[in-house]
Chain A
Amino acid sequence: MTDSKKITSIIKEIGNVIQKEKDFLTELDSFIGDADHGINMARGFKEVEKKLPGLEDKDVGTILKTVGMTLVSTVGGASGPLYGTAFMKAGMAIGAKNDIDGDDFITALNAAVEGIKMRGKSHEGEKTMLDALIPALNTIKKVYEENKDFKAALEQGIKAAEEGVEYTKTIIATKGRASYLGERSIGHQDPGATSSYLMLKAICSII
């Protein structure tokens, strides 16, 4: 379904979307965080982009692990270790494959979500990226099992992620900088959930 070259173009597209939405993500973070989410993510993916040309002939696991390590070293905010761990765990779950199918993708996304939970000591309902990613993962799994059409499953998953982002507006943050705001965090969508949703959408636009 997706070979190494395509994986690198997906990563490139994620970077493009992050650069495009940089100000939006930073603005969201200015309401309930420290106003750096877009800036940090854009800095990280700019460094990732520099590495992509050298990765096209590597296996998918290596590509994802390199992306993860680059984000950890260059993002500078909480999204660095969180997305960094996610990509590294996804890479480890896939391993030395040069071509991945829908099942592999689901395995990778599952490992990514578990990695974020572990690193952030977090779970669903705390107004974090997990509120977009977990519903997306569950929906993708379910739809893919039913009809084995990965693109359709991903499209449904993105809808679930979008609903997850909306849901974050209604809840109090209990993790991260926003948790210091308590009830004042209600009414604002979570920047991390938003970037997770945007990343899934970017993946879908290339697959």
Chain B
Amino acid sequence: MVGIVIVSHSNKLAQGVMELAKMMAADAPVAAAGGLEDGSFGTSYEKIDTAIDSVYSDDGVVILMDMGSAVMTAEMVIENMPNKKIQMIDCPLVEGAVVAAIASSSNQSMGEVINEAKNAAKESKL
């Protein structure tokens, strides 16, 4: 199954998104990398690095980010793992995570997980 990493400035937000995603797909490998080591707001290179390792398999890992430094830091972590199959997805964090987790737990490929999550942005709520 494709691993999913949730990167956010907030530990609570990353944990919450992970919990929401797992509600629909309990067996999907989802890891949260939120906030800094001391619990304060920010993006931690180390936490992202560890989160990727914790859900990595040959099926690959997708990363969903909130904004700003979450995007840039995730980008740098990936650059330093050149031989691994990892990709960031440009999608809404909550909807994207839920959809990606369902796709992953249905054993869809990394490309399919990415497409599903990207399409989450097109679903209108109203």
Contact = CB atoms under 8 A, between A and B. Distances in A.
Interface of A: 34, 36, 40, 72-73, 75-82, 84-85, 119-120, 176-177
B56 interface: no
Given A76-B69, A77-B42, 7 more contacts: A73-B45, A73-B46, A76-B41, A76-B43, A80-B43, A81-B72, A176-B68
Contact of A84 (B40, B41, B76): B76
Contacts of B53: none
B75 interface: yes
Q: Chain A interface secondary structure, helix, strand, loop or mixed?
A: helix
B72 to A, nearest CB: 4
Contacts of B46: 73
Contacts of A72: 45, 73, 76
Nearest to B45: A73
6 contacts: A73-B44, A76-B69, A77-B42, A80-B43, A81-B73, A120-B72
A158 B68 CA distance: 27
Nearest to A74: B45
A42 B73 CA distance: 18
Interface string B19-56: 00000000000000000100011111110000000000
Contacts of A34: 9, 41
B75 A77 contact: no
A147 B9 CA distance: 47
B53 to A, nearest CB: 15
Given A36-B42, A40-B42, A76 B72 contact: no
A108 to B, nearest CB: 19
B75 A80 contact: no
Nearest to B36: A76
B68 A78 contact: yes
A80 B68 CA distance: 11
